[in-house]
Amino acid sequence: MEVDPRRLPLTVLSGIGPVRAERMARLGLRTVGDLLFLTPLRLELRGERMTTREAAAALGQKVSVRGRPAKAKLFRQGYRRSRLSFELVDDAGTLAAVYFNQPWLFERVKEWVASKQEIELYARVQMGSSGPFLAAPRLVDAAENRNSVSPGEFESIYPLTAGIAQGFLARLIRSAVSEHAGALVDSLRACDRKRLGIPRLSSAVLELHRPSGLGAFELAKRRLALERILALLAQMIRSAERRESGQAPEVTLSEAQEVELMGELPFVPTAGQVRVMREIFSDIATPTPMRRLLQGDVGSGKTLVALAALLAVARGGRQAALLAPTEILAQQHYYGLEPWLREHGVRVGYLSGTLSAARRKRELSAIQSAEVGVVIGTHALFSDRVAYERLSLCVIDEQQRFGVAQKRALLEKGSGVHVLLMTATPIPRTLALCLLGDLDISVLDEKPAGRGSLETRALADSERHVVLALVEKKLAAGDRVYWVCPRIDPGGREDPASAESAFEGLAKGALGKYGIELIHGRVEPEERAQRVDRFKRGVSRMLVSTTIIEVGVDVPEATCIVIENAERFGLAQLHQLRGRVGRGSGASHCFLLANEEGLERVRILEECSDGFELSEEDLRRRGMGDLVGLRQAGENLEGLADAAVDEELVEFARKLMRQGRGLVDRYCGEGWGGGAELV
């Protein structure tokens, strides 16, 4: 009997050794089944095969051109920018081929030239200052990268990673389909497939990778999406079964104790905070591990709720951990919570990668001996050397900044650990899990008292002068301003703005007199803290940064934030960034500078301030992410593409699971994750 390919490791395929297997794993591809179910990013209609002269006249089109490479040249422009060009020669003439910022290809191109053999390239024809050229062409007809797609046929384009080329992956998938697609076990009966109008699983895999047409391709995606939903539901059911088996430590408070604890908190909780605290107290009083998502905008009081949970667990003789994504935020939590918790009899530990060896040793010893009731820190909390004696609660702040594997690593430090996830805006992966039912949700929807208005405006890059004029008015009035860029270093002409270049330009201009600071991940933590402190005290009124300020910087005097290349960010992240302002009683402004193509998407923030609504839009535009994988957003490599998933498909999958038929055991044992917990 043939083995279902979902049980076969990739290494059974020719050409996959340990090194390539590790690279493929970065794409979430570990079994032959993963490879068969890999959803292409898109389809491309293979362009016609043309001569160099015909191709030169086909501006904007994708074409195949065959010829002999000649005259390879590499021009370097600074540290990161380069232009690699060569000529493709045939009987009709010559046509340039160009690669930007890929200097490592120079040796390979020189080999092509030296061989004097014809090659075939596939690329879009673009116009440059010296005439038409093939932009970043892909090799079509070399022995190591043979592609059997003919002109006029659809070609599946796949997601890639370093060391895995498009041609190699396409050839590997064709081989896997030929050898293993027929052995796939189909869980659906003929009547089920007819009702949904979808093909057999083996036929869907064939149409996914060698589609006969667009309609067949969409039906194949829908069939594969159903397969992934069934697998996801099976793992959720298995995960719920494990959680309900009663492994979690019970932390029980009477109603009087709950009231007493909430009365001790440093601030009087709002009605919404009281509601959420009681939901958490109810969760941790049961042997079923809590899995709760707490959503609330910046400043809505999530930290006070977390403090109540930490105190309840620590007083119950157990340990709790508060995980933050950056040292800035971890230190803010530590210095804000440690004095209060110490006054109430709870010792607090701190872990981060910048601790001295001596202090780290002391902290690790105190954690292991349970002298510490609450531990606050960064990724260091789940490093191999950390051993908890009685870990019972993990609070993960800004949870969208952590991958699934990182959250799981912390949970594995204890048995049946309760989890409270906190976020100002749940990103698509988290939202999708909520929609499919694996997380309980608590929402803090009350606007904090004493907050001023926050206006968001999206403007084209060409309107930068308008923003600069408004920013100068803010600075002249004594307000603070953030200026956020998507990267540290300046790049090429097509690259996003950098913090380094923005700082240099602003400091030399009219705004420099107000004092400007620069922070990013390469600035030493001590120096970074000093620059932030000068900004807080008003010694410098503008702070230029990367997204490092997204969490952990609290300056009520900051009333303006400018975000360059806003189209480069997800809506959820933009919402989080603008939460840096509007914390005081005055009017605040957020300016989103975007290119013309990105303006439409970011303009939703002008009207919307609701985190869940923005996440729904992110879900539609950016994708679910891999629900049972490690990635958080973007193209869903597991087949749950936006257009393929709808309410009918999800409800049908749920109905199948309720019918039994051994589906839970089948999907949890066929290389879909084995029922690993989803966090």
Domain shared by 39 and 171, yes or no: yes
142-150: list long-range contacts, CB under 8 Å, 24+ apart: 144/168, 145/171, 146/171, 147/122, 147/171, 148/174, 149/46, 150/46
Tokens of 429: 């992966």
Domain shared by 272 and 421, yes or no: yes
Is residue 28 within 8 Å of residue 36, measured between CB atoms? no
Among 312-316, 360-364, 378-382, 570-574, the range scoring the smallest mean pLDDT is 570-574
Domain shared by 59 and 41, yes or no: no
Tokens of 520: 């990013």
pLDDT of 668 > 80? The answer is no
* Chain-centre distance for alpha carbon 87: 40
The pLDDT value recorded for residue 551 is: 72
Residue 642 is assigned to a structural domain of this protein: no
pLDDT: which is higher, 298 or 49:
49
CATH number of the domain bearing residue 61: 2.40.50.140
Domain shared by 496 and 532, yes or no: yes
**Rounded CA gap, 344 and 321, in Å?**
17
The pLDDT value recorded for residue 149 is: 66
pLDDT of 245 > 80? The answer is no
The pLDDT value recorded for residue 36 is: 93
Is residue 345 within 8 Å of residue 291, measured between CB atoms? no
Residue 666 is assigned to a structural domain of this protein: no
Domain shared by 541 and 430, yes or no: no
Specify the pairing of strand 374-377 against strand 319-323. parallel
Is residue 237 within 8 Å of residue 663, measured between CB atoms? no
Listed in sequence order, the residues at least 6 apart from 257 whose beta carbon sits closer than 8 Å to its beta carbon are none
Domain shared by 513 and 566, yes or no: yes
Residue 462 is assigned to a structural domain of this protein: yes
Residue 54 is assigned to a structural domain of this protein: yes
Residue 347 is assigned to a structural domain of this protein: yes
Residue 69 is assigned to a structural domain of this protein: yes
Among 242, 277, 308, the domain-final residue is 242
Q: How many domains does the chain have?
A: 4
Tokens of 340: 């209060």
The pLDDT value recorded for residue 661 is: 60
The pLDDT value recorded for residue 640 is: 55
Specify the DSSP class assigned to residue 546.
-
Among 125, 148, 171, the domain-final residue is 148
0.85 surpassed by pTM: no
The pLDDT value recorded for residue 146 is: 47
Bridge partners, residue 558, by sequence: 480
Domain shared by 174 and 212, yes or no: yes
Distances (CA, A) of 163 to 23, 85, 208, 223, 457: 7, 22, 24, 30, 41
The pLDDT value recorded for residue 114 is: 93
Domain shared by 479 and 594, yes or no: yes
Domain shared by 415 and 275, yes or no: yes
**Rounded CA gap, 623 and 638, in Å?**
11
The H or E element spanning position 124 is: strand 119-128
Is residue 549 within 8 Å of residue 484, measured between CB atoms? yes
Distances (CA, A) of 482 to 474, 543, 554: 11, 5, 12
Instruction: Report which residue type is found at 378.
Output: T
Tokens of 256: 């009087």
Distances (CA, A) of 470 to 187, 454, 462, 475: 61, 15, 15, 9
Domain shared by 69 and 115, yes or no: yes
pLDDT of 435 > 60? The answer is no
What's the rounded mean pLDDT across residues 320-342?
92
CATH number of the domain bearing residue 437: 3.40.50.300
Spell out where 215-311 has E strands. Answer: 291-296
Tokens of 464: 């930068």
**Rounded CA gap, 503 and 519, in Å?**
10
Domain enclosing residue 55, as ranges: 47-148
Of 612, 639, 619, residue with least CA distance to 628: 639
Question: Listing from the earlier edge strand, what are the strands of the sheet with 291-296?
Answer: 348-351, 374-377, 319-323, 391-396, 418-423, 291-296, 440-444
**Rounded CA gap, 63 and 151, in Å?**
9
The pLDDT value recorded for residue 673 is: 47
pLDDT: which is higher, 623 or 457:
457
The pLDDT value recorded for residue 7 is: 84
Domain shared by 304 and 362, yes or no: yes
Of 574, 577, 556, 332, residue with least CA distance to 451: 556
Query: In the block, which residue shows the tokens 């970065």?
Result: 26
Phi first, then psi: give them for residue 646, nearest 5 degrees.
-145, 175
Tell me how crowded residue 327 is: count the other CB atoms within 10 A of its CB: 21
Specify the pairing of strand 588-594 against strand 558-563. parallel
Is residue 125 within 8 Å of residue 134, measured between CB atoms? yes
**Rounded CA gap, 138 and 120, in Å?**
8
pLDDT of 470 > 90? The answer is yes
Listed in sequence order, the residues at least 6 apart from 643 whose beta carbon sits closer than 8 Å to its beta carbon are 218, 221
**Rounded CA gap, 54 and 71, in Å?**
21
**Rounded CA gap, 97 and 67, in Å?**
11
pLDDT: which is higher, 510 or 246:
510
For residue 675, what pLDDT band results from cuts at 50, 70 and 90? very low
The pLDDT value recorded for residue 443 is: 86
Tokens of 27: 């794409």
Residue 625 is assigned to a structural domain of this protein: no
The pLDDT value recorded for residue 278 is: 97
Quick one: three-class SS letters along 635-659? Answer: CCCCCCCHHHCCHHHHHHHHHHHHC
pLDDT: which is higher, 219 or 651:
219
The pLDDT value recorded for residue 301 is: 86
Bridge partners, residue 560, by sequence: 481, 589
Bridge partners, residue 487, by sequence: 498
What's the rounded mean pLDDT across residues 176-197?
89
pLDDT of 108 > 60? The answer is yes
Residue 677 is assigned to a structural domain of this protein: no
Among 122, 148, 174, the domain-final residue is 148
What average pLDDT does the structure give for the chain?
A: 85
Domain shared by 569 and 470, yes or no: yes
What's the rounded mean pLDDT across residues 619-628?
61
